[in-house]
Amino acid sequence: MYLHIHLVHRSYSNYGIRFSGQDSCRGTFSHRHLVLYDQINSNKFNILQNIVDKFSLKPKYEIANSPLSEFAVLGFEYGYSMANPNALPVWEAQFGDFVNGAQIIIDQYISSAETKWQRMNGVVMLLPHGYEGQGPEHSSARMERFLQQCAELNMVVANITTAANFFHGLRRQQAWAFRKPLVVFTPKANLRHPGSSSPVEDFTKGGFKEVIDDASVTDAASVKKVLLCSGKIYFDLEEYRTKNNVKDVAVVRLEQLYPLPQNQLDELYKKYSKAIWHWVQEEPLNMG
């Protein structure tokens, strides 16, 4: 739903939108349903296109299921973004693991074109990520590969936990006076987690939060441990803390992995100056 809201918002803001991917219309995990099909005559109804047409919005809006050739499709979306920097081109992998089929596009263009050719690009990649027992090729978008390519502010890498923050992350992508590729490790099981939802006011006010502090902490001086994490493991930590009534541990979420929000982290280091900090991740030690 947060993606629906953003797409409509961008249309009203006169930005063209193109959303493609492997099963993107329905959503791999049956969570999006941007296109509905009549069970009798197989006619399709594009929900957001109907809004665009009804209100005669000028920007072009497209959503399409794309072939399983990640190299070809991501290459096209990169070129689309290059030709139309005011558009919001989004490519979504069916599972984040499949992005390795487009590795050459990422290596030669997305991660390095600005340094090599001084050409900015605002393509967005949504990569479902999470270890949830689905086995090889269905668990990891290989965060470590992207982070190893991060340098000289060449891209933005995010691992977002709330609907409103996802909304503001995409909104910021278009609001910037410049363009940077955006890589988002998106949830799978957590698409339906109550903790991922956000109140309406979080959408209408504020902006993207690179770091989310622990709102449950009332006395920072009493905190003995701070668990710094990113992504869906936050909900596992929060569930354990609540169930066991742990009061002296704070759980802080790092929503943007690169560029690292050092200033925000420094403020939290000062706030929890008496605590011991730990990094927590669900990925193996040499990954994530």
How many Å apart are CA 9 and CA 168, to the nearest integer?
A: 11
C-alpha distances out from residue 73 to 15, 22, 24, 25, 65, Å? 21, 10, 13, 15, 10
The fold of the 209-280 domain, in CATH, is Rossmann fold (3.40.50)
Global confidence as pTM:
0.89
Task: Categorize the per-residue pLDDT at 13 as very low, low, confident or very high, splitting at 50, 70 and 90.
Answer: low
pLDDT value of position 23: 82
pLDDT value of position 2: 47
Closest CA to 44 of 35, 52, 34: 35
The class (CATH top level) of 2-196 is: alpha beta
pLDDT tens, residue by residue, 70-93: 999 999 999 999 999 888 999 998
pLDDT tens, residue by residue, 126-156: 998 878 877 788 788 899 999 999 999 999 9
Same fold for the pair 2-196 and 209-280: yes
pLDDT tens, residue by residue, 150-203: 999 999 999 999 999 999 999 999 889 999 999 999 888 788 888 888 899 998
Percent of the chain with pLDDT over 70: 92
DSSP run (H or E) holding 36: strand 35-37
Closest CA to 93 of 129, 63, 132: 129
Q: Which two tokens stand for residue 224?
A: 């003995």
pLDDT tens, residue by residue, 271-286: 999 999 999 999 888 8
Q: What is the DSSP letter of 112?
A: T
Full strand arrangement of the beta sheet holding 249-254: 211-212, 249-254, 225-229, 276-280
Q: Which two tokens stand for residue 140?
A: 């990891």
- Radius of gyration over every alpha carbon of the chain, rounded to an integer in angstroms: 20
Name the residue type at position 266.
D
| Domain boundaries, given as residue ranges, for the chain | 2-196, 209-280
What pairing do the DSSP bridges indicate for beta strands 156-158 and 182-186?
parallel
